[in-house]
């Protein structure tokens, strides 16, 4: 059962979203500060070794305005993948694909999802919280970290992303947003170590993205 308070909030969000979409002319499409194609090839100890390009059909389906899908490797040979998708006006020019539907496929399923704290934030903040999803295929695990880096905020959940999307559209006339996802294979069943390594990478990515993404004050 959904608590009455949450039900009321959800209904308000639906009504607010409908109102904004009906008046989308008041929402400004905000271009990215610089193309993600120039995102660093070296992130800390990680070096880019591969780039994947989404098909035209996928780009059109999502309506994403800029994106990268990079694979990085460290000196130990470990691989970590990074996806960043930028939208100039979420819900107007395009919309996110739920991270819970973006599994590798082939038998992978979600074991758990929980908040994941980071010892750094953006726009001068000293900490932030993102989401950690543990996925499994048999005895194989991957740590998936994801967040929304939108209008000067780090947002961990899809629920709060929708809340801020409506509020900022009403108060700022903006719906620009970015979805960020990191995937890292767990080795030797050491989930804690994999989470630590992925988290350090996430902190570097988060701060690097500030040079690319519009902030609170553009």
Q: What is the pLDDT of residues 130-184, one digit of tens each?
A: 999 999 999 999 999 999 999 999 999 998 998 898 889 888 999 999 999 999 9
User: Distance between CA atoms of 101 and 29, rounded to whole angstroms?
Assistant: 26
Chain centre to alpha carbon of residue 191: 21
- Residue 57's pLDDT is 79
- 3-state DSSP assignment of residue 142: strand
User: Distance between CA atoms of 134 and 109, rounded to whole angstroms?
Assistant: 9
Tokens of 202: 């996430």
**Buried-state track 48-61, b at ≥16 Cβ within 10 A, e below 16:** beeeeebeeeeeee
Pairing state of beta strands 153-155 and 46-51?
unpaired
DSSP letter for 51, please. E
- Residue 166's pLDDT is 85
Picking from 156, 5, 161, 138, the residue whose alpha carbon sits closest to that of residue 90 is 161
- Residue 61's pLDDT is 75
User: Distance between CA atoms of 51 and 202, rounded to whole angstroms?
Assistant: 18
- Residue 3's pLDDT is 58
- 3-state DSSP assignment of residue 175: coil
Helix H or strand E encompassing 192: helix 191-209
Pairing state of beta strands 128-137 and 109-118?
antiparallel
DSSP letter for 65, please. S
- Residue 26's pLDDT is 67
Weakly modelled stretches of the chain, pLDDT under 50: 1-2, 24
- Residue 48's pLDDT is 98
User: Distance between CA atoms of 94 and 81, rounded to whole angstroms?
Assistant: 23
């Amino acid at each position: 059962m959904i608590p009455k308070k949450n039900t009321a909030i959800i209904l308000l969000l639906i009504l607010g979203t409908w109102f904004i979409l009906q008046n989308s002319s008041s929402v400004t499409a905000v271009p990215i500060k610089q193309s993600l194609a120039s995102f660093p090839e070296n992130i800390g100890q990680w070096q880019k070794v591969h780039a994947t390009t989404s098909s035209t059909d996928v780009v059109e389906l999502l309506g994403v305005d800029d994106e990268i899908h990079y694979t990085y490797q460290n000196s130990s040979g470990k691989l970590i993948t990074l996806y960043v998708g930028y939208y100039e006006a979420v819900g107007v020019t395009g919309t996110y694909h739920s991270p819970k539907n973006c599994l590798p496929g082939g038998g992978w399923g979600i074991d758990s999802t929980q908040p994941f704290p980071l010892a750094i934030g953006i726009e001068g903040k000293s900490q932030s919280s993102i989401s950690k999803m543990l996925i499994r295929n048999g005895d194989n695990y991957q740590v998936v970290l994801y967040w929304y880096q939108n209008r000067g905020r780090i947002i961990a959940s899809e629920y709060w992303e929708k809340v801020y999307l409506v509020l900022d559209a009403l108060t700022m006339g903006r719906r620009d947003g970015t979805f960020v996802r990191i995937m890292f294979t767990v080795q030797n069943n050491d989930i804690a170590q994999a989470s630590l390594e992925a988290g350090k990478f996430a902190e570097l990515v988060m701060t690097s993205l500030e040079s690319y993404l519009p902030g609170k004050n553009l």
